[in-house]
Structures are given as C-alpha cells and as structure tokens.
Amino acid sequence: MHLFVGLGNPGPQYARHRHNVGFMAVDAIARRWRAPGWRRKFHGECSEVELEGERVLLLKPLTFMNESGRSVAEAMRFYRLAPARLVVFHDELDLAPGKVRVKHGGGTAGHNGLRSIAACLGTTDFVRVRIGIGHPGDRDRVVSWVLSDFARTDQLWLEPLLAAIAEAAPRLARGDASGFMNAVTLALRQRAAGAASGASRPGGQTD
C-alpha cells in the first residue's frame, strides 16, 4: 500500500486557499478513480482506492497544517508503512503557478506541514509532489498570500492541472516519478494545444 496525503487546513473558510492545493489534489484523485466516501480516521479524512492495481490510502489530515504529522504518523504506524511509501501533495511558493515537481527526501524549505511530518516520522525520506502557487514577491506578504483564495483567473490553469495530476496518479503508486511528471506535462500541453486550436477558429468557438 501507498499513502497519498494532501496537505491543507480543514473547514469551508480555507477550502479555496492556495495553502489547500494539497487537499484539492487528493480530492481530484478520489473523484477520478471513484474512491468511496471519506471516513474519519487517523485524525483526518481518508478513503482507500485502487489505482490501476495499486492499493492507495488517501488522507487529508484535519489537525491543521502545522500538526499534519500527527495524522500521517498514525496512519503510517497502523499500516506499518515505510517512509518511501508516503507521497505528500503540497503547495510550493518557489514554483510558478501551475508548475509541478516531484522530490524525494531533502529539506522541508520552511513548509510547516512538511516540517511536522518530518518531525513525527523522524525522517524526510518520503516523496513530495510540489504544486506551484507562485510567490507574492515580498516575504511580508507570504502568509496572506497562502491563506487567501485562488483568484478566479487561476482556475484556467488550476483545474486542468489537478485533472492531470489525478490521471497520472497511478504512476506515483508504482514509484514512477519521472513517468508521472511526463504524463502531467503531456496532458497540459495537449490541453493548451486544443485551447489554442479552438481559439483560432472563426468566433473562437470549440467543438
């Protein structure tokens, strides 16, 4: 089994925040692969799903971002999972909006959710899917930036990105990080090409 964790803060007031894009990614995976309803366990919401033959537990910690590790560690202990079986989806200030990178191990780059997980597990030897939200350009604006809703125009890249992540998720469950990245990139390029083709038609209409 793999454990796919989306990071965010619980509650409707946080649902569309940039900081909650990890929750959004796991929700997209659940929808695409028709996961059963969420249930409360491990201080979070979880659902078990099969991704092309790979068994995966989806988890959204409800402990708030700064204590995400408590939820993750409890699930890891219950299923006796090695850290390498953990994949964490989270927001990344140092990536442009709409960019995605996969990283295995290394530092937490000041991300409180990752820091909590590393502290509770005693290691950083897990996989992170870094979802770019961009930087506001001023360190004093970072907190308000991550704790504010995505702009309406962000939906133009956010929804296609989440759909591409969900579609390619089985590759992560097989440990194929490069294959996952290639699949996401290809899906976004195809969508962009389709949008450009539609815009070039008379009246900008699409089929």
CB-CB contact of 165 with 172 (8 Å): no
Q: What is the pLDDT of residue 135?
A: 94
Fold adopted by 2-204:
Rossmann fold (3.40.50)
What is the pLDDT tens value at each position of the chain, 207 positions in all? 999 999 999 999 999 999 999 999 999 999 999 999 999 999 999 999 999 999 999 999 999 999 999 999 999 999 999 999 999 999 999 999 999 999 999 999 889 999 999 999 999 999 999 999 999 999 899 999 999 999 999 999 999 999 999 999 999 999 999 999 999 999 999 887 776 666 556 554 433
Q: What is the pLDDT of residue 206?
A: 39
Q: Which residues are catalytic?
A: 19
Q: What is the pLDDT of residue 191?
A: 82
Q: Sheet holding 2-6: strands in order across?
A: 39-41, 44-51, 54-61, 2-6, 86-92, 127-132, 100-104
- Please give the model's pTM, rounded to 2 decimal places: 0.92
